[in-house]
Amino acid sequence: MKVFLYILAGLAAAACLVLALGYWVLIGAPVPSIPPSKTPPPEGFVAAEFQDIDALQSAGGLEVIDLDQHGKYFEHMLHRADGLIVFTFFGETENDDVTYAAYDTAGDLVDILNLPIPAHRMDQFFLSKDTYRALSPAGFSDAQPYAQIEGEITAQQLDQLNKDSDYYFTLSWTSAPRDSEAFKTRAAQHIFREAGVWKTLSTSIEQPYDYKGGAFGNGPDFELKTQYYHDAKRQNNGQGLLPEKAIFQLTHFDQQEYFSRKSASIGSTTGIGRAEHWRGTGYYTLTMGDGALTFKIDDDTQNLSGSGRLFLTAATHADVDYVFLKHHKRHQTYRVYLIRPVVQ
């Protein structure tokens, strides 16, 4: 009888441990684990030779172009037909102008366009409230006014204009100044291109339309391709961007603080937990031709399981002669650069 009671007690204790561990995991607590061994630096590694990514300077036969000079980076789009890549930047406040900086395939600045809010880009057209500009290999055109449609318009006529247009978007009256006529009359501004002519009209007809035309890019190759992602789980120490053009590598990761995997907690709105990872200083090397640029990132992340969050990307394209480097710190703004070989 005593043996049976001992067995029963042991099973009960084991069940309690299992339930406790399950609850521990369900509430999003870290999964107990032993930190892996730290990776030693490679032979000949000298940390002092690596620049800080927040203040990259041209070195090692590679030129660094700081794109932050234009504002807060938002996005970039490749216009293959024009041989340009347009980078979009915002100002310090939500009321500042939007800046579009057009660079050619060699990495030279071709033109800069500043547009007041609201500003929209639709393929090669850059639109403000009252005028539009077109992009060409030479840069941005002069401002051109819209053809104004005057008088009253019916909902059926508005619907037909939308169907006949190849580009179309609406500026809501809610974004107009409160003392403006548009706000008082709840008149939305409709901007569209019909038969090659950009037109505009204002109406209080509540007829919402989806953003029409203006795909962000010109076909499947409009974006610079992100080619670097360090994933220690796959034992991948960096991938070639385009092997004949650039090679990007994590030279060494100084593993300083270990974080075990953590499941998403009960009731989590995202359902995303925490990947197993190290935090420390990452040391990177970008090689282009005979040139090499080395830099470091403090408070960097090295994922050991899952995807985690990507804080560093390097991208290029077969049509361009540079690498676009983007770093995003936790809860901070981007640092963005163009890196290209020094022209002799």
Domain ranges of the chain: 47-51+224-263+272-341, 160-203
Tell if the pTM clears 0.85, that is, is over it: no
Q: CA 203 to CA 72: how far, in whole Å?
A: 34
Amino acid, single-letter form, for residue 342: V
Strands 147-148 and 131-136 turn out to be unpaired
Residues in CB range of 160: below 8 A, 6 or more apart:
none
State the Rg of the chain over Cα.
27
The pLDDT tens digits for 289-335 are 899 999 999 988 887 776 556 678 888 888 889 998 988 876 677 89
Instruction: Quote the pLDDT of residue 180.
Output: 59
Residue 16 host element (H or E): helix 2-26
Give me the phi and psi of 235, to 5 degrees please.
55, 45
Q: What is the pLDDT of residues 263-289, one digit of tens each?
A: 555 555 544 556 788 889 999 999 998
Q: How far apart are CA 32 and CA 36, in angstroms?
A: 13
